[in-house]
Amino acid sequence: MIDQAFIVSVLTMGGLGLAFAACLAIASVKFRVEEDPIVEAVLEALPGTNCGACGFAGCHSLAVKMACKEVAVNACPVAGQEGADMIAKALGVEAVEALRDVAVVLCRGGDAESVKSASYRGDMTCASAVITGGEKDCSYSCLGYGDCVKVCCFDSMGMNANGMPEVFFDKCVGCGACVRACPRDIIEMHPEDKTLFVYCRNKDKGAAAKKVCKVSCIGCMLCKKDCEVPGGIKIENFLAVIDYELCPQDDVAIKRCPTKCILNGENVKMTSASFAAQNTLNK
């Protein structure tokens, strides 16, 4: 014998559920919003991961903007050239070459280069280590616990034997997850045709910067003097800053750098294949 309260409860809940479902069914027909077929076609070409790399709230809001031609068809860094072509076809416009953004780790002070005078015992994440300052003396450097590698869902980053994260130029889709994960703001997104970078974030005076790391920028001004375009490289807070609007992406400015912290083409070299080769060599 089943308890009567049980039957009544089930019937009540079931009845109410059905009644509400019926109301919603009627409402969904009555308040139906016709989706623009162009938006749907664009949405089809987008990855649909809602990663936010384009700067919009999600793939749908980007698709709406693309459909009314407010943003370029290559605005999605993840869809790449193939996606841009498909969207261009759906919108009936000329295809544009997609230039993706690639993450660059602007610090080269790994275990071998940096000075460590503390030991860190705690949660092995950069987000925790940054509170106490980590092991390295440089307070601007990479902490080396690989938060950026952990958040990368495209397998396009890895930690090398020197305890530094590396971005694989061939695999990075430019979603910017690593940029947000880094508590020290060392990782930046740059268009893939940019190759000249200052791989240091230390804003201390030259002597102090040199003391904590072998490859820090000491603000010596040599790259500024050597740069072919005046103002192409500036020194701000004892740190060289490249003006990408002006500076030519070549080897002239980097030749006399005493600590070799300004480099050209370094970001293009590291691919997933070369990283794997290096890692097996070290093992």
Partner 1 sequence: MDSMIQIMLIFISAAVVNNFVLAYFLGICPFLGVSKKTDTALNMGFATTFVMVLTAAISWLINNLILLKYNLPFLQNVTYIITIASLVQLVELFVRKSSPSLYRSLGIFLPLIVTNCAILGLALFSALREYTFVQSLFFGLGAGVGFTLALVIMAGIREELEFADVPESLKGAPITLLVAGMLALAFMGFAGLISA
Query: Are 240 and 227 spatial neighbours (Cβ–Cβ below 8 Å)?
Result: no
Shortest CB 29 distance to partner 1, Å = 10
**Type of residue found at 271:** T
Shortest CB 174 distance to partner 1, Å = 25
Instruction: Give the separation between CA 64 and CA 55, rounded to whole angstroms.
Output: 13
Between 67 and 142, CB nearer to partner 1: 67
Q: How many CA atoms lie within 13 A of 220 on its CB side?
A: 20
Between 2 and 5, CB nearer to partner 1: 5
Shortest CB 9 distance to partner 1, Å = 6
Between 55 and 265, CB nearer to partner 1: 55
Instruction: Give the separation between CA 195 and CA 16, rounded to whole angstroms.
Output: 64
Angle ∠(249,237,127) on CA atoms, nearest 5: 90
Length, in residues, of the chain: 283
Between 66 and 164, CB nearer to partner 1: 66
Shortest CB 102 distance to partner 1, Å = 30
Between 23 and 161, CB nearer to partner 1: 23
Instruction: Give the separation between CA 250 and CA 95, rounded to whole angstroms.
Output: 30
Residue 283, SS3 per DSSP: coil
List residues near partner 1 by CB under 8 A: 5, 8-9, 12-13, 16-17, 20-21, 23-24, 27-28, 31-33, 57, 61
Shortest CB 128 distance to partner 1, Å = 19
